[in-house]
Amino acid sequence: MMLDIKTIKRKSLLYKTQVEYADYTINHIIGCSHGCLYPCYAMQMSKRFGRIASYDEWLKPRIIPNALELLDKEIPRLKHKINSVHLCFMSDPFMMGHPEVTDLSLEIIDKLHKNAIKTTTLTKGLYPYKLSQIKNTINEYGITLVSLDEEHRKNFEPNSSSYLERINSLNELHDLGFKTWVSMEPYPTPNIFTQDLLLILEKISFVDKIVFGRLNYNSKISKYKDNQTFYNNCCDQLIRFCEDNDIEYYIKKGTYRP
């Protein structure tokens, strides 16, 4: 098969992540067309480890063409240890403008499903309809959502899907009976953007779980002196909302400090 996307082979794929709310993960892509400017931790790490040289290079994703072969080798060895596999912390499995990335992500989710392994996903893109044909009700499909304001999105996630389309694509999966979740991270402080958290929460009240986390890697955060009080208030509001609406929640370490 001829691919319109650059590729890079790997020797291994599945690994145990250090991320506090996840188990195993896969990074089957290097780079991400969304080009987030929070800044993107994955891009910073890729630069540090010499996988990319520049932001422009980061915007042109490369996929791992032997990802499925690697899974065939690794799943039998690791299956008994795995609770779930997350796609993905170092890129976006359903990034805009790259159907090859979406196709590979779908094939990986399908392979994990056929091996009775739960997948969790997170995207700032759009979920394809084909995903609903993988009849797996233990998988959890998520979007990142830190605002409803399109100007804010364009400033920080210039090439991602619009917030409304993103929410709608998640809502469609929810309506089809799949588990859905939202990652509200990195949530901006008011010196970056002022907004009403409750309005965002009301828009996503259909989801099963919300993960909330502070902004860490942005120099503006230290300029907002009351940032801890701000995040504590957000957490209180989010917890109240989730308890009232029967939504599971997870507050990331360091976000709430009494």
Write out the residues near ligand SF4 by the rule CB under 6 A.
Answer: 32, 34-36, 40, 42-43, 91-92, 124
Residue 81: phi, psi to the nearest 5? -95, -15
CB within 8 A of 18, min separation 6: which ones? none
The total number of residues shown for the chain amounts to: 258
DSSP H helices, 79-196, are 99-114, 150-156, 163-175
* Residues paired with residue 248 on neighbouring β-strands, in sequence order: 209
Give 42 or 75: the residue with its C-beta nearer to ligand SF4. Answer: 42
Q: What span, in angstroms and rounded, lies between the C-alpha atoms of 194 and 196?
A: 7
| CB 80, min distance to ligand SF4, A | 30
Question: What ranges make up the beta strands (E) of 117-253?
Answer: 118-123, 140-144, 179-187, 209-214, 248-251
| CB 153, min distance to ligand SF4, A | 11
CB within 8 A of 223, min separation 6: which ones? 191
Give 124 or 252: the residue with its C-beta nearer to ligand SF4. Answer: 124
Give 43 or 109: the residue with its C-beta nearer to ligand SF4. Answer: 43
| CB 2, min distance to ligand SF4, A | 25
Q: Is 88 exposed, middle or buried (0-12, 13-18, 19+ CB in 10 A)?
A: buried
Give 34 or 98: the residue with its C-beta nearer to ligand SF4. Answer: 34
Give 32 or 63: the residue with its C-beta nearer to ligand SF4. Answer: 32
| CB 34, min distance to ligand SF4, A | 4
| CB 121, min distance to ligand SF4, A | 12
